[in-house]
Amino acid sequence: MYADQPPFTVDDGVEVPTPAAGLWTVGAVVLNRRGEAFAQRRAADRLLFPGAWDIVGGHVEDGESLLDALAREVREETGWTLRRVRRHLGTGTWVGDDGLGPRHEADFLVEVDGDLDRPRLEPSEHTACGWFGPDDLHRLKENCPPGQFLVHDLVARVVGGGARRS
């Protein structure tokens, strides 16, 4: 577990995939009290998906479990603390344009502790952030090639499905 990460809970029935060989990433969909999902804009000079909106997450490090990686990424990218893993939203595979090949990504609906109005973004990685509900989901397609709407589609499934932060 991440060194200063307090224990988090995982709801009964949440499937946590067992990573097979290859590169793995994790993603966290965080909702506010209005049921809007948090996303952050990747810096324009990032190798993968420059200028695109993204959920909180990143690569799983060697020897790290998916959920420990999730907790670490939440802390590193926002300053928030993972409190609860509510649901496994699915596992997919995508290929970046960095030549590293396919990545397997496990995404989760989570709850966090911290000031949701003041995330601590890593300025070298993210330049903006926002909360996205059904009326502004279209913004999550900005700077994405046609048909490459992974973040939009994931968030749309969550905010369109009536999931709320408890």
Q: What is the mean pLDDT of residues 21-27?
A: 92
- Which pLDDT does position 164 carry in this prediction? 45
pLDDT band at 165 (very low <50, low <70, confident <90, very high): very low
Instruction: Between 149 and 110, name the one with better pLDDT.
Output: 110
- Give residue 161's pLDDT: 47
CB 125 within 8 Å of CB 46: yes
pLDDT at 7: 87
Strand 23-30 and strand 102-113: pairing? parallel
| Burial (CB count within 10 angstroms: exposed 0-12, middle 13-18, buried 19+), residue 142 | exposed
Backbone φ and ψ for 39, nearest 5 degrees, come out as: -145, 155
By mean pLDDT, which of 3-7, 25-29, 70-74, 144-148 is the weakest? 3-7
* pLDDT confidence band for 4 (50 / 70 / 90): low
Cα angle for residues 60, 62, 122 (degrees, 5° grid): 45
What's the confidence (pLDDT) of residue 5?
A: 63
Mean per-residue pLDDT of the chain? 89
Write the pLDDT tens digit of every residue in 112-139: 999 999 999 988 999 999 999 999 999 9
DSSP state of 12: T
| Ordered structural domains, the chain, with CATH | 22-159 (3.90.79.10)
Q: Does the pTM exceed 0.75?
A: yes
Residues 58, 25 contacting (CB under 8 angstroms): yes
pLDDT on residue 49: 85
pLDDT in tens, 64-113: 999 999 999 999 999 999 999 999 999 998 887 777 788 899 999 999 99
Contact 157, 116 (CB under 8 A): no
